[in-house]
Structure 1
Amino acid sequence: MNAAQVMNLSQLLRQTATLFPTLPAVIHGEARWNWREIDQRVDAMAHALTRLGLKKGDRILVQSRNTLELFESCWVAFRLGCVWVPTNYRLTPGEVAYLAESSGARAMIFEGVFQDHARACRAASGRLEHLVAIGHAEPGQLSYQALVDQHMGQRFPSATVGYGDPLWFFYTSGTTGKPKAAVLTHGQMAFVVTNHLADLIPGTTEKDCSIAVAPLSHGAGIHALLNVARGAATVLPTSERLDPGEVWRLVEQHRVTNLFTVPTIVKLLVEHPAVDAYDHSSVRYIVYAGAPMYRADQKYALKKLGKVLVQYFGLGEVTGCITVLPPYLHTPDDPDPGYPVGSCGRPRVGMEIAILDDDLTPLPPGEIGEICCRGPAVFAGYYNNEQANESAFRGGWFHTGDIGRLDDKGFLYITGRQSDMYISGGSNVYPREVEEVILTHPAVEEVAVVGVRDEQWGEVGVAVVVLRKGHDHTSPDELFAHLDGKCAKYRWPKRFVFWDALPKSGYGKITKKDVKRLLQESGEIELEQA
């Protein structure tokens, strides 16, 4: 494709800085920076990295909590025509070293508190030439702020790019095997930003404000692009871990209108007493993704917040752009027949969804199979991983690995991950369907159902339950009685296990591989056969 037909995504920042130079862009505690300052700082760092020898196509690894520099670093990479490679800051030094080596990063920007990560990356990758520290820089390292100061005031022209030129390596969570780098491109992301603005936070302007309650390295970073495109400020909480009290205080203080999060964080926010202590009437959109929200949690959130929930479905490989369920399709009441309760929404404009069987044959409405999609939001492929690409793009579709069905109106319903499904007595069991019923019991706070080996049935379910405070005496018999008449018996878990908490990823999702591992380590289930 002719490169003149593609805008370098960093122009979103440039255009906003030109339109609204003095309006707030980033707010962190008492500090705030306007759009002109952010744009100038990005130019300065782009000049500095160019002087160090970085060029179009080079990868820049970033290890940081939600900071001003993390917020800026993507725009630096985009403007250079380089590839932004952000990490989940909770990863270990060894895990980040793998990302440095597998991505072929030439430079690493990192917070000074992650010196062990920086050393591990340098040791693992012979291509990593430059370590740029946010905060304290040790000998042999460069200071981020010093580089900005040295080049401040020098305007940097955005690199000319093509539609398929990469701008972001979006690493998968690595639920099976090593993480894979999904290659996001300038052309693809121009479509995604436009689509997200239309479907997720329509009508957003420079008068709006967002708050980052999840790491900017992944889904919240995509959401930040939308706010930059419209000139809406982003508030960065000062707490390293999610503090619902601080979040609601900042919502009231800055009149926050939108935020991106995941269902487990929505649950934490609305069940915290602070939700009633601060004014959150400014909020228009709470966008949640990463997993469907259980109906019981959805109804409670709507009761507390009103009709502000927006759900979308889509993996990092499709940057969340597969379906949308807008606020008017969220209801706290028992709806009329045909209302899409439990759906994650309708197809996004320009995107096509199909439910395929094992032979890649599209299935009719109501039948369960793998959720597949195609359209301009689909990524370019996995970096340096042809085997994964062959599997992901079979039959001209992107295969999500999620299981679900479409109804006769085209609304999508997710049943679970392919890896979550188990076969008991010859019947497929999708844990999510059972979890939904268990969660309607008033004593249950959270639940995860996993399939384990069983000599009689092949596999059976084990339900790990976290009880609400004051319900410590709830028994398995009570939960089995609750299932009676609400769920086919072949789907019932064979037994219930009670824990104080469920393991979660850095993005707040329950990690079932860790649930199963902890069950094995505690002796609750036998070790899986290799």
Structure 2
Amino acid sequence: MSLSVANVLGESARRYPDRIAVVEGAVRLTYRELWHDALRCGAGLRAAGVRPGDRVAVLLPNTTEFLRVYYGALAAGATVVPVHGLLVAEEVRYVLEHSGAVALVSGGPLWAVAEEAARSAGVRALQGAPMAPEPLRAAEPAGPGDTAAILYTSGTTGRPKGARLTHLNIVLNASVTSQDLLGMGERDVVLGCLPLFHSYGQTCAMNGTLRAGATLVLMPRFSGPAALAALVEEGVTVFMGVPTMYHALVEAAASDERRPVALRAAVSGGAALPVAVLERFEETFATQVLEGYGLTETSPVATFNQPHLGTRPGTVGHPVWGVEVEVADAGVDDRIELLADGEIGEVVVRGHNVFAGYLDDPEATAAAVVDGWFRTGDLGVRDEDGFLSIVDRKKDLVIRGGFNIYPREVEEVLVRHPSVAEVAVIGVPDEARGEEICAVVVLRPGAGDVGAAELVEWSKERLGRHKYPRLVRFVDAMPLGPTGKVLKRALAGVGAGADSGSGSGSGGSEGSRG
């Protein structure tokens, strides 16, 4: 039995050859044209020495070139290794060596880093998609359990790990997302501003859109004003983004009266979306926001706010088709002990979306997959109606004086202050209480003279005595990862610089984007 991710594009090209598959600026490619280009790229990779079963690394921005190489490599029978676009050469070298890639395809502004990394790793670097004169006759067959892509995790606790996603993982997750969750079809236009090297952008936006025969609008570099313009000018019907993108769009709309008339659904994932931001977006754009949840290791979607099951802001909905999601005792490592509804524990997942394990790391795989369940490392709770809420990451939990404090709960309160644009709550070492709660804040433009004491008092009135932040630091911007997720580990230095005492941390340093 063959089930290749390459045929996500190939089948749509057969069914809808003249539909527009992808838009990048003035470039518009039909499904027939994109599939022909992918097969030519596959033939070019074969000519460059790539054989079925080999691994091909891809370091490209969100352009049509990424799609040519991604589907071309899969059509040639290779495994794709998408490389994080913000890595330095030494980090890229590690991915190349660890994955065993035989070639690296790159170009544009990323070429210099790619060339240096490939040279030091002894891997062949190809500038741009290698296009052969004649295309492959067809895509190489692939088994459902064969590895289609190796995606490297962020490596917050050491070297990045390579998560092996199978053809079945990706095809089913893309199909469930586009059809069961969003009901996408030929008239849909999806804005693809999520990085394609990331599982959210790759499976949901790219593969999900092409699986449905819809149109993918690429945005190589995201900004609020540019995204708003694209939503309006391209007639976008489905927007997929992360919380920081929603915030940026709301801010852009404050100075731009244009509104997208075709937008029918907005999907949020990658991190918790503050309810206040969700409400502002829905009010501004008159479009319902559907929040979901998943991880690289779950291909990525595990749960989603599904209208036919009911939606509930502040939750991540119910498990998607074919997937089970439960809450287990977070303090038990060697087995899974499921908890009753209403109890906080570690979110665990099993189903067709769970990855095949970490590349060459059986110990990490065994720790992550226990009794057939994938341990997410996220703390969650399920209510009596089956809605799952993500409380926080296990590692982000703040323990103050013996009390468990969940940063997201504090963030939800602070972000409702009229002068606060963004907030991240972290724990900082404290001799008396073990950890103290520190709020790192980005103020809204024109907020005026808002001090730490005011924000502490705002929190104090709305949170229990053990929960409100005693420390506040102001930054100009949050340090962000490639998908727009706030990198809390990069804020440790900001929090550590705060003096103890109520609201005394009113200074602060500028956050850097990462």
Above 0.5 in TM-score?
A: yes
Match of 1:246 in 2: 226
Q: Distance in 1 between matches of 2:154 and 2:499?
A: 26
Asked if 2 retains the 8 angstrom alpha-carbon contact of 1:311 and 1:326, the reply is no
Q: Distance in 1 between matches of 2:481 and 2:37?
A: 32
Q: Distance in 2 between matches of 1:111 and 1:463?
A: 40
Match of 1:373 in 2: 349
Residues 113 and 498 of structure 1: is their aligned pair in 2 closer, same or farther, counting only changes over 3 Å? closer
Asked if 1 retains the 8 angstrom alpha-carbon contact of 2:193 and 2:221, the reply is no
Shift of 1:116: 2.8
SS at match of 1:60: strand
Shift of 1:282: 0.6
Tell me, yes or no, if structure 1 residue 484 matches structure 2 residue 478. Answer: no
Taking every aligned residue pair, what percent have the same amino acid on both sides?
Answer: 32
Q: Distance in 2 between matches of 1:290 and 1:112?
A: 27
Give 1:192's match in structure 2, choosing from 173, 180, 189. 173
User: What amino acid sits opposite 2:115 in the alignment?
Assistant: R
Tell me, yes or no, if structure 1 residue 514 matches structure 2 residue 496. Answer: no
Tell me, yes or no, if structure 1 residue 123 matches structure 2 residue 119. Answer: yes
Asked if 1 retains the 8 angstrom alpha-carbon contact of 2:163 and 2:357, the reply is yes
Q: Distance in 1 between matches of 2:314 and 2:23?
A: 36
User: What amino acid sits opposite 1:378 in the alignment?
Assistant: V
Residues 151 and 512 of structure 1: is their aligned pair in 2 closer, same or farther, counting only changes over 3 Å? same
Tell me, yes or no, if structure 1 residue 233 matches structure 2 residue 205. Answer: no
Which deviates the most, 488-497 or 116-125? 116-125
Asked if 1 retains the 8 angstrom alpha-carbon contact of 2:459 and 2:469, the reply is no
Give 2:471's match in structure 1, choosing from 486, 490, 495. 495
SS at match of 1:449: strand
SS at match of 2:391: strand
Q: Distance in 2 between matches of 1:293 and 1:26?
A: 28
Residues 198 and 524 of structure 1: is their aligned pair in 2 closer, same or farther, counting only changes over 3 Å? farther
Residues 470 and 115 of structure 1: is their aligned pair in 2 closer, same or farther, counting only changes over 3 Å? closer
Tell me, yes or no, if structure 1 residue 75 matches structure 2 residue 71. Answer: yes
Match of 1:351 in 2: 323
Deviations 1:462-495 (A, max 9, x none): 1111111222322222222212342111112221
Tell me, yes or no, if structure 1 residue 34 matches structure 2 residue 10. Answer: no
Q: Distance in 2 between matches of 1:443 and 1:244?
A: 19
Match of 2:401 in 1: 425
Q: Distance in 2 between matches of 1:17 and 1:346?
A: 33
Q: Distance in 2 between matches of 1:444 and 1:244?
A: 18
Asked if 1 retains the 8 angstrom alpha-carbon contact of 2:479 and 2:487, the reply is yes
Match of 2:133 in 1: 151
Give the TM-score normalised by structure 2.
0.92
User: What amino acid sits opposite 1:132 in the alignment?
Assistant: L
Residues 479 and 208 of structure 1: is their aligned pair in 2 closer, same or farther, counting only changes over 3 Å? same
SS at match of 2:365: helix
User: What amino acid sits opposite 2:316 in the alignment?
Assistant: C
Shift of 1:81: 2.0
Shift of 1:54: 1.2
Asked if 2 retains the 8 angstrom alpha-carbon contact of 1:248 and 1:275, the reply is no
User: What amino acid sits opposite 1:343 in the alignment?
Assistant: T
Q: Distance in 1 between matches of 2:459 and 2:226?
A: 38
Asked if 2 retains the 8 angstrom alpha-carbon contact of 1:45 and 1:151, the reply is no
Q: Flag structure 1 segments of 5+ consecutive residues without an equivalent.
A: 135-143, 331-338
Residues 391 and 275 of structure 1: is their aligned pair in 2 closer, same or farther, counting only changes over 3 Å? farther
SS at match of 2:228: helix
Q: Distance in 1 between matches of 2:313 and 2:264?
A: 21
SS at match of 1:272: helix
Residues 329 and 354 of structure 1: is their aligned pair in 2 closer, same or farther, counting only changes over 3 Å? closer
Asked if 2 retains the 8 angstrom alpha-carbon contact of 1:285 and 1:308, the reply is yes
Q: Distance in 2 between matches of 1:43 and 1:391?
A: 39
Residues 193 and 56 of structure 1: is their aligned pair in 2 closer, same or farther, counting only changes over 3 Å? same
Measured on the aligned residues, the alpha-carbon RMSD in Å equals 2.0
Residues 466 and 505 of structure 1: is their aligned pair in 2 closer, same or farther, counting only changes over 3 Å? same
Q: Distance in 1 between matches of 2:448 and 2:32?
A: 55
Asked if 2 retains the 8 angstrom alpha-carbon contact of 1:60 and 1:109, the reply is yes
Which deviates the most, 115-124 or 175-184? 115-124
Which deviates the most, 193-202 or 31-40? 193-202
Q: Distance in 2 between matches of 1:200 and 1:267?
A: 24
Asked if 1 retains the 8 angstrom alpha-carbon contact of 2:266 and 2:287, the reply is no
Deviations 1:194-218 (A, max 9, x none): 211234321x222221221121111
Q: Distance in 1 between matches of 2:111 and 2:65?
A: 16
Match of 2:378 in 1: 402
Residues 157 and 500 of structure 1: is their aligned pair in 2 closer, same or farther, counting only changes over 3 Å? same
SS at match of 1:489: coil
Q: Distance in 1 between matches of 2:420 and 2:308?
A: 28
Asked if 1 retains the 8 angstrom alpha-carbon contact of 2:304 and 2:316, the reply is yes
Match of 1:141 in 2: none
Asked if 1 retains the 8 angstrom alpha-carbon contact of 2:303 and 2:320, the reply is yes
Shift of 1:112: 3.8
Tell me, yes or no, if structure 1 residue 265 matches structure 2 residue 259. Answer: no
Tell me, yes or no, if structure 1 residue 54 matches structure 2 residue 50. Answer: yes
Residues 257 and 422 of structure 1: is their aligned pair in 2 closer, same or farther, counting only changes over 3 Å? same
Q: Distance in 2 between matches of 1:131 and 1:356?
A: 45
Which deviates the most, 248-257 or 389-398? 248-257
Give the TM-score normalised by structure 1.
0.89
SS at match of 2:396: coil
User: What amino acid sits opposite 1:356 in the alignment?
Assistant: A
Asked if 1 retains the 8 angstrom alpha-carbon contact of 2:104 and 2:118, the reply is no
Q: Flag structure 2 segments of 5+ consecutive residues without an equivalent.
A: 506-514
Deviations 1:59-104 (A, max 9, x none): 1111111111102222112212211111221221222111111111
Residues 274 and 65 of structure 1: is their aligned pair in 2 closer, same or farther, counting only changes over 3 Å? farther
Residues 276 and 470 of structure 1: is their aligned pair in 2 closer, same or farther, counting only changes over 3 Å? closer
Tell me, yes or no, if structure 1 residue 224 matches structure 2 residue 218. Answer: no
Match of 1:86 in 2: 82
Asked if 2 retains the 8 angstrom alpha-carbon contact of 1:307 and 1:327, the reply is no
Match of 1:383 in 2: 359
Match of 2:508 in 1: none
